[in-house]
Structure 1
């Protein structure tokens, strides 16, 4: 019994840390300015339509949930961070979308088995630390024959490399936590879902990011606004040498990925995996 209590307390502390991480900075601006169209792309790929019961897991500000609602679906959007959900509510109201927002953990969804026709996540559930637990919950709440739709950064793409760049500077991850970009590896998803899904599709795509004039502008934007990067910088507050080294590494990453269009701005292609599958009927 004591071990169970210890695990529960450790998990609560871990989730509290994740909640605080995503509340830091300004993730709503990152979602709006860097990846505004990815949510609708996922909704379209999953075939969401009128009357579908849809769950958006780790929904953030509703990048996928809002387009799903506008497509006529009955949508619930869940996230660990209530600050992101509050922004999502405002955005949905501005766009005339009606849906339900609920604070919840992707690894312990508060819904009945088979409650949804479609379960989505757009660069969201990939950040849940325990991949098997999260994948099991996605499947559990999806009805037999229903659709799982995921859009995730790939390990070898720009965002995956950005997370890999900051990892050596970060505190050690908790036991059992797995790297988020693994969700962008089709083989990892096959290992997670196994024969519990059918009709899998997995395609690599890129989103063009031309928001930044210089590598340094990119670096400063993400160190000030993006929770996973900002939190690492905060952990280095008393080590200016490591802060300077991370500054150099992040700017260098952007410089290496610039397509060099000659238009006076960085032009980068960020790779992601678009995955869909049907939950097996048995």
Structure 2
């Protein structure tokens, strides 16, 4: 006798795992202590201005949403993980930023078509498992003539290489899931968005990271704060040798990228596009 899994049930289970993974550790610490520059860079590239209706997809704790609100936009920050939104809500209040926080799946956004002037995501939507479904939603909720803006880690950059280093130790991905760093490949993003957008610009940039004095400090910080890294170590917790090997891989990765004094450059792809005026 064979059994089949209902696709809707499988998707709910997958999203529950993603939600739980990003609630591990302290991702807001990564956002504020390591990659804080990325949010304002994306807001600037999207040309966010007062009065714009802005949606930040997979917003996490709001490292792009809050700067957009402070620029005068009317912002909705959406994310699959409510724990991250809770942190973002408190941080926004402290910064004097007013915005709406919504629990939402990047692959099935609960918003009307063409609702937003700007739809953006800062190293967030790239982690949704089904890339085409995510891209379709980004385009759908953006108004004709509106702006779509994305920052994603590249496959060849530091975070892309970190995921490559962790892959042999990680749980097998579910069927149909695609690697997050593919969003950092310009050809992949252009194919996902297709002819529904125009005026596409794609620029590779470097984020200078100076948070870690040593490779070991990087490893220990990510073991304690970054959901995917925590989950990978947990998957190998019963095998001390694999834990030791993964420890070593992460230290070696940071050592290879060390520019001196602990400084590293992490490559990302910044994409902006304008939704065409008709489908």
Match of 1:277 in 2: 273
Secondary structure, in 3 states, of the residue corresponding to 1:13? helix
The 5-angstrom pairing of residues 53-68 of structure 1 reads 53-68=53-68
Deviations 1:221-279 (A, max 9, x none): 1011100100000011101110000001000000011112xxxx311000001100001
Match of 1:259 in 2: 259
Q: 1:251 & 1:43 partners in 2: Cα distance? A: 33
Q: 1:219 & 1:69 partners in 2: Cα distance? A: 33
Secondary structure, in 3 states, of the residue corresponding to 2:148? strand
**Quick check: 70-79 or 210-219, which moved more?**
210-219
TM-aligned CA deviation for residue 5 of structure 1: 7.1
Q: 2:150 & 2:234 partners in 1: Cα distance? A: 30
TM (normalized to structure 2)? 0.97
Q: Which runs of 5+ in 1 are unaligned?
A: none
Secondary structure, in 3 states, of the residue corresponding to 2:105? coil
Secondary structure, in 3 states, of the residue corresponding to 1:211? coil
Match of 2:72 in 1: 72
Q: 1:279 & 1:193 partners in 2: Cα distance? A: 9
- Distance verdict in 2 for CA 1:77–1:4, change over 3 Å: farther
Q: 1:15 & 1:5 partners in 2: Cα distance? A: 15
- Distance verdict in 2 for CA 1:86–1:4, change over 3 Å: farther
Match of 2:187 in 1: 187
Match of 1:176 in 2: 176
Runs of 4+ displaced beyond 3 Å: none
Match of 2:247 in 1: 247
Q: Which runs of 5+ in 2 are unaligned?
A: none
Secondary structure, in 3 states, of the residue corresponding to 2:6? helix
Q: 1:239 & 1:172 partners in 2: Cα distance? A: 17
Secondary structure, in 3 states, of the residue corresponding to 1:187? helix
The 5-angstrom pairing of residues 109-258 of structure 1 reads 109-258=109-258
1:11 aligns with 2:11: yes
Q: 2:211 & 2:35 partners in 1: Cα distance? A: 11
Secondary structure, in 3 states, of the residue corresponding to 1:234? helix
Deviations 1:182-221 (A, max 9, x none): 1111100011011010000000111111111111111111
Deviations 1:158-200 (A, max 9, x none): 0110111111100110000000001111100011011010000
Secondary structure, in 3 states, of the residue corresponding to 1:203? strand
- Number of positions where the alignment pairs a residue of Structure 1 with one of Structure 2: 276
- Alpha-carbon RMSD across the aligned residues, in angstroms, is 1.1
- Distance verdict in 2 for CA 1:242–1:4, change over 3 Å: closer
TM-aligned CA deviation for residue 4 of structure 1: 10
Q: 1:193 & 1:80 partners in 2: Cα distance? A: 22
Secondary structure, in 3 states, of the residue corresponding to 2:61? coil
Secondary structure, in 3 states, of the residue corresponding to 1:155? coil
Secondary structure, in 3 states, of the residue corresponding to 1:145? strand
